[in-house]
Amino acid sequence: MREIVLDTETTGLDPLKGDRLVEIGCVEMVNRILTGNVFHIYLNPQRDMPQEAFNVHGLSAEFLSDKPLFADKADEFLAFIADDTLVIHNAAFDIGFLNAELERAGRPVIARDRVVDTLALARRKHPGGPNSLDVLMNRYGIDSSRRVKHGALLDSELLAEVYSELLGGRQAMLVGLVEEETSAPRLVAAEVAAARQRPVPLPSRLTAEDIAAHTAFVESLGEKALWASYLPKDEGASAA
């Protein structure tokens, strides 16, 4: 199961009033485990940077002036997220900006039913309290010392940790336990086993003599012995 944890930085709060994306950060998770595969890009918003926004992320208009336009990177972004689930904190904000940029670039917009909003998950799990990313990191003991300012890629990495906690803690990433309150798919044992499987099996420590001796011993127990059913047919035939 592939999921993309995503965050953005912008020039302001409203894409319908001329605010634009300036940064996109995505990290890939497979079976709720970070793979190290990321998508990260700074974007030229083709406008000034309001001081309020600069104070949040520290990205100046001068710094962004030589960065690519969203339209030039739209296909690369869409290829990375593919058709997989997007995990976003306060998803309406980021999806609003992404879809505004996609429409402007003549690309298909992102359907909201493919998005998991971690803010909504947090509000159901911790009703009545603040549930910003900073609050959730403190609540779950996640190290936020690197987060001097907002940054899309770093925030995506931190959100991935928060997401795993919202779904039952880091242990849930290994055993596939997902709380019933979420709409995310449940992991199954086969998926966990596949994630843990070595790409190249370790060489066997058993010698041919060891295998032959074991086969002979099992066959000495008689045809009805339980262990006989586990012998490969070719081994049993060769020992007969």
- Mind giving me the DSSP string for the chain? -EEEEEEEEESSS-GGGT--EEEEEEEEEETTEEEEEEEEEE---SS---HHHHHHH---HHHHTTSPPHHHHHHHHHHHHTTSEEEETTHHHHHHHHHHHHHHTT-PPPPGGGEEEHHHHHHHHSTTS---HHHHHHHTT---TT-SS--HHHHHHHHHHHHHHHTT-TTHHHH----TTS-SPPP-HHHHHHHHS-SSPPPP---HHHHHHHHHHHHTT-TT-GGGGGS-HHHHHHH-
Residue recorded with tokens 């603040």: 130
Question: Could you give the residue numbers annotated as active site?
Answer: 150
7, two tokens:
């965050």
Report yes or no: 50 and 94 within 8 Å, Cβ to Cβ: no
Report d(CA 202, CA 207) in Å as an integer. 14
Among 2, 4, 14, 8, which Cα is nearest to 155's? Answer: 8
Taken as a whole, the chain contains a residue count of 240
